[in-house]
């Protein structure tokens, strides 16, 4: 680990050799096991610092517990969402709406989106989503998909399934 990727204010006891993209099990390949990788992360402190962030070259804090993640997302006075990490992966600089917006812009988009995600609206989608998911699982289980999974094309297949399911 190179020390120059770690800011002076970060305690060395909280620095971990971890990358969301390259740590064992996290790579999106046929041999990847993200569940094992996440289990490994849960063996670390609830909050730790990783000097590896291929998106912008800076390190990042990793928050492993849902309770702590919620606190961070809800505490806009202490934590900012204004880094646009998602779009920087594409060479762009726009926010992922509404998550990476600060108030009052965040509230404007939430007011528009919230009615679309009420329990009643989501339950109305369930039957079609289950049907699509079942069809995609059957497709993935086919002999053709198994042959494709033996190559690096399995990521493309997974992305294709995710795209189709998102449109369900």
Q: What is the pLDDT of residues 11-39, one digit of tens each?
A: 999 998 887 767 766 666 556 676 777 78
Dihedrals phi, psi of 98, to nearest 5 degrees:
-95, -5
The predicted model gives 88-103 an average pLDDT of 80
User: pLDDT tens-digit profile of 128-157?
Assistant: 999 988 888 787 777 565 666 555 445 555
- CA–CA distance, 47 with 89 (Å, rounded to integer): 24
98 pLDDT above the threshold of 60 = yes
Q: Is-contact 77 51, C-beta < 8 A?
A: no
Report residue 116 as tokens.
């679309």
- Tell me the C-alpha distance between 38 and 130, whole Å: 26
pLDDT at residue 71 above 90? yes
pTM for this prediction: 0.57
48: β partners: 62
Highest mean pLDDT among 27-41, 48-62, 64-78, 87-101: 64-78
Burial of 51 (0-12, 13-18, 19+ CB in 10 A): buried
């Amino acid at each position: 680990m190179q020390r120059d990727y770690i800011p002076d204010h970060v305690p060395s006891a909280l620095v971990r050799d971890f990358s969301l993209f390259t740590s064992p099990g996290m790579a999106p390949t046929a041999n990847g096991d993200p569940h094992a990788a996440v289990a490994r992360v849960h063996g670390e402190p609830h909050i730790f610092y990783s000097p590896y962030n291929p998106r912008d070259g800076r390190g990042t804090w990793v928050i492993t517990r849902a309770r702590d993640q919620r606190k961070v997302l809800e505490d806009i006075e202490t934590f900012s969402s204004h880094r646009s990490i998602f779009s920087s992966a594409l060479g762009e600089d726009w926010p992922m709406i509404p998550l990476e917006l600060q108030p009052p812009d965040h509230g404007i988009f939430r007011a528009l989106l919230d009615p679309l995600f009420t329990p009643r609206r989501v339950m109305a989608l369930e039957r079609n989503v289950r049907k699509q998911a079942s069809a995609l699982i059957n497709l993935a289980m086919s002999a053709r998909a198994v042959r494709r999974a033996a190559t690096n094309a399995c990521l493309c297949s997974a992305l294709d399934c995710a795209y189709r399911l998102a449109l369900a």
